Amino acid sequence: MSATIMDTNFNFPGQRNVYKGKVREVYSLQNDILIMVATDRLSAFDVVMPKGIPYKGQILNQIATKMMLATQDIVPNWLIATPDPNVAIGHRCEPFKVEMVIRGYLSGHAAREYKLGKRVLCGVRMPEGMKENDKFPEPIITPATKAEMGDHDEDISKEAILQRKIVSKEDYEILEKYTSDLFARGSKIAKERGLILVDTKYEFGKTAAGKIVLIDEIHTPDSSRYFYAEGYEERQDRGEAQKQLSKEFVRQWLISKGFQGLAGQQVPEMSDAYIETVSERYIELYENITGEKFIKADTTHLLSRIEKNVLAYLDTV
């Protein structure tokens, strides 16, 4: 298999500190610039799997970059440059401590809650009589508190966010509008590619100047769920599972092996053959959502390549 990045330990000029998330590692420089490295780590149920997925970091970074550029006319973002297939460089922001999750369909976590008999998710009422993967009358926003690596994100209502002063009312209304606008644009892009954007999450931050911008990833298979549009209605009518491109297939595989990230559960062993299929699914999504063939970057000396490309960029600014 190709080499993967599970961890980095760079020391860039002017480096102040490093934040290591579940998948990305963020290096802060003195001039309010961030260097975000997308690793090949795979997270499911908020647990980082022991083995990396070849090309996953490159895929996430390149999809996110393309989608940032495709939405910058409706929502400002943090991005400045992408000097390496696995790297994005942008403005340092103070992240809001919530993830803005928006759902167009009853799928994934929402469907699992619905099956348990719950009809209110994050303070939002879901209609009665829905089947898994049915479309909501209107997309619903179901925020989650942001977790550190290894911790679980938690559902939270708008009311609780405002009551606990996690986000001000004025800022939250901007986040809501940006979330709805981004989902509408992402849905349009997906439709043009024969896909359905089922649900996704967005993260936002505030620049030193007080401007709210989109940060992190957008419309990637880690942050989003996609169905194939062709045959969607027929599969729903027959009560069949939807053909999808997202990380959900990994979650379902883990569930079938008795793992849901709960206390005392062991992460099942992922064979090299299975990891290869996961990598192929990520490549498939890249090619479907972007409409472009995926070009595998040279992974012979992955970390050296990243360091060289970042240093060359920093020399120009």
Do 202 and 310 fall into the same domain?
no
Instruction: Please report which confidence band the pLDDT of residue 152 belongs to, taking 50, 70 and 90 as the band edges.
Output: low
In a domain, 62, yes or no: yes
- Give the residue numbers spanning the domain of 222: 95-246
Distance CA 60, CA 37 (A): 10
Do 107 and 242 fall into the same domain?
yes
In a domain, 19, yes or no: yes
Q: Which residues of 93-114 are buried (b: 16+ CB within 10 A; e: fewer)?
A: bebbebbbbbbbbbbbbbbebb
In a domain, 162, yes or no: yes
Predicted pLDDT at 52: 94
Q: Which residues of 135-164 are buried (b: 16+ CB within 10 A; e: fewer)?
A: bbeebbbbbbbbeeeeeebebbebeebeee
Predicted pLDDT at 268: 93
Q: What is the pLDDT of residues 264-291, one digit of tens each?
A: 999 999 999 999 999 998 898 899 989 9
In a domain, 180, yes or no: yes
Predicted pLDDT at 202: 97
What CATH code is carried by the domain that includes residue 76? Answer: 3.30.200.20
Do 132 and 239 fall into the same domain?
yes
Predicted pLDDT at 83: 98
Q: In the predicted model, what is the mean pLDDT of residues 134-153?
A: 82
> What's the domain count of the chain?
2
Do 239 and 108 fall into the same domain?
yes
Do 99 and 88 fall into the same domain?
no
Predicted pLDDT at 45: 87
Sole residue written with tokens 């609780």 = 160
Q: In the predicted model, what is the mean pLDDT of residues 6-18?
A: 95
Do 170 and 280 fall into the same domain?
no
Do 44 and 105 fall into the same domain?
no
Predicted pLDDT at 151: 53
Do 309 and 204 fall into the same domain?
no
Please give the mean pLDDT across all residues of the chain: 93
In a domain, 237, yes or no: yes
Predicted pLDDT at 147: 61
CA distances from 171 to 158, 167, 181, 226 (A): 12, 6, 15, 29
Do 118 and 211 fall into the same domain?
yes
Do 99 and 227 fall into the same domain?
yes
Q: In the predicted model, what is the mean pLDDT of residues 252-259?
A: 93
Do 141 and 217 fall into the same domain?
yes
Q: What is the pTM of this model?
A: 0.88
What percentage of the chain reaches a pLDDT higher than 90?
A: 84
What CATH code is carried by the domain that includes residue 147? Answer: 3.30.470.20
Q: In the predicted model, what is the mean pLDDT of residues 22-27?
A: 93
In a domain, 197, yes or no: yes
Do 105 and 203 fall into the same domain?
yes
Answer for the pair 283, 54: CB distance below 8 angstroms, yes or no: no
Find the Cα–Cα–Cα–Cα dihedral 80, 284, 254, 8, rounded to 10°: -30
Predicted pLDDT at 150: 46
